[in-house]
């Protein structure tokens, strides 16, 4: 659907006439460029995020971000676990919840499981996974490269391990025992990253310079997993076109045909992947943000003339595959 077809839904009146669900309240971002707030753990005991667990049977497949999924019971539960206490319609919240739910359904978030995070920035996922008993290697690009790319200035680069537990999700002693950090260039994966139960990246592969570079990373990173291991990646998706797109530069947009070609190749190598492409039909799904971007309703945005949203890829490494 192109911008011209849904322009009428972008007015404040249109959004006001479709109130948020009962769980939702206004979000106050505190001005962080990525929409995050620093979490103040004062008064909150260091413990696993919640005693409850997501219970709705809703096996995820690779798919775009939608309002219905973001406001589902499972996704609300994960956002609470990540100490995002208020609901906003923001695709970053969807990405983190999508990664958590996909890993949970595949029995990855259990005591002793080994996880590998790429380009983690300041995201709270390593802390949450450690609180659930996982052993995590969190990685990010070398500091000099991050400085040149502007990630340091926007507070989206991990410079020290403690920054990954700033929300106090994990007991500090358990966090220190279960989480390690090292610098890794996603274009050149070290040979010693092997035998992980799961790995993930959140909105990273579109910054590797080209369509091919991001897809190559998805394929090569499977070598880091045990047979049967799970890889989850969220990235930018072109809602407008299966032809014209941003195919190189600081940000690229993947098309449906790019994911279909990737899936065909991975299946041919014995890996598992199922694709979906429903874009949603709720009011937040139809709202297209243009610059300057805000954090209130941010599921889809206008990026260099294209409507874009987030897409989650779920890949299970073949059980007879040893090299990826």
* pLDDT tens string 162-221: 889 999 999 999 999 999 999 999 999 999 999 999 999 999 999 999 999 999 999 999
List the CATH number of the domain containing 156.
3.40.50.150
In a domain, 33, yes or no: no
Q: Is residue 266 part of a domain?
A: yes
pLDDT over 70 (residue 324):
no
Tokens representing residue 183 in the block: 């610098």
- Residue at 121 is within a domain: yes
* Cα-to-chain-centroid distance, residue 145: 22
Instruction: Write down the pTM of the prediction.
Output: 0.81
Residue 37 lies in a domain: no
Nearest to 232 by CA among 272, 177, 187, 284: 272
Instruction: Give CA–CA dist 311/317, Å, rounded.
Output: 19
Domain that holds residue 306: 3-13+59-313
Residue 79 located in a structural domain: yes
Number of domains in the chain: 1
| 61-104: pLDDT as tens digits | 999 999 999 999 899 999 999 998 777 899 999 999 999 999 99
Determine contact, residues 37/28, Cβ cutoff 8 Å: yes
Whether the CB-CB separation of 41 and 168 falls below 8 Å is answered with yes
């Amino acid at each position: 659907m192109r911008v011209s077809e849904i322009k009428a839904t972008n007015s404040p009146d249109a959004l006001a006439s479709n109130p948020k669900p009962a769980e939702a309240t206004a979000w106050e971002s505190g001005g962080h460029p990525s929409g995050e707030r620093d979490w103040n753990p004062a008064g909150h005991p260091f413990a696993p995020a919640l005693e409850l667990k997501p219970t709705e049977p809703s096996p995820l497949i690779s798919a775009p971000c939608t309002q219905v999924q973001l406001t589902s019971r499972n996704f609300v539960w994960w956002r609470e676990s990540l100490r995002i206490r208020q609901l906003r319609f923001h695709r970053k919240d969807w990405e983190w919840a999508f990664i958590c739910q996909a890993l949970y359904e595949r029995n990855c978030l259990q005591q002793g499981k080994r996880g590998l995070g790429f380009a983690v920035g300041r995201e709270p996922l390593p802390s949450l996974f450690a609180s659930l008993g996982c052993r995590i290697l969190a990685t990010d690009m070398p500091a000099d490269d991050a400085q040149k790319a502007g990630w340091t200035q926007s507070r989206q680069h991990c410079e020290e391990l403690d920054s990954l537990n700033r929300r106090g999700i994990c007991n500090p002693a358990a966090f220190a025992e279960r989480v390690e950090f090292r610098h890794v260039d996603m274009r050149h994966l070290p040979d010693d990253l092997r035998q992980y139960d799961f790995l993930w990246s959140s909105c990273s592969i579109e910054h590797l310079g080209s369509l091919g570079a991001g897809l190559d990373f998805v394929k090569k990173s499977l070598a880091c997993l045990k047979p049967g291991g799970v890889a989850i990646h969220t990235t930018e998706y072109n809602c407008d076109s299966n032809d014209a797109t941003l195919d190189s530069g600081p940000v690229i947009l993947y098309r449906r045909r790019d994911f279909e070609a990737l899936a065909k190749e991975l299946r041919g190598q014995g890996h598992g992947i199922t694709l979906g492409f429903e874009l949603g039909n709720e009011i937040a799904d139809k709202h297209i943000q243009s610059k300057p971007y805000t954090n209130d309703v941010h599921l889809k945005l206008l990026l260099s003339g294209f409507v874009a949203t987030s897409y989650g890829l779920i890949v299970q490494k073949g059980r007879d595959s040893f090299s990826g």
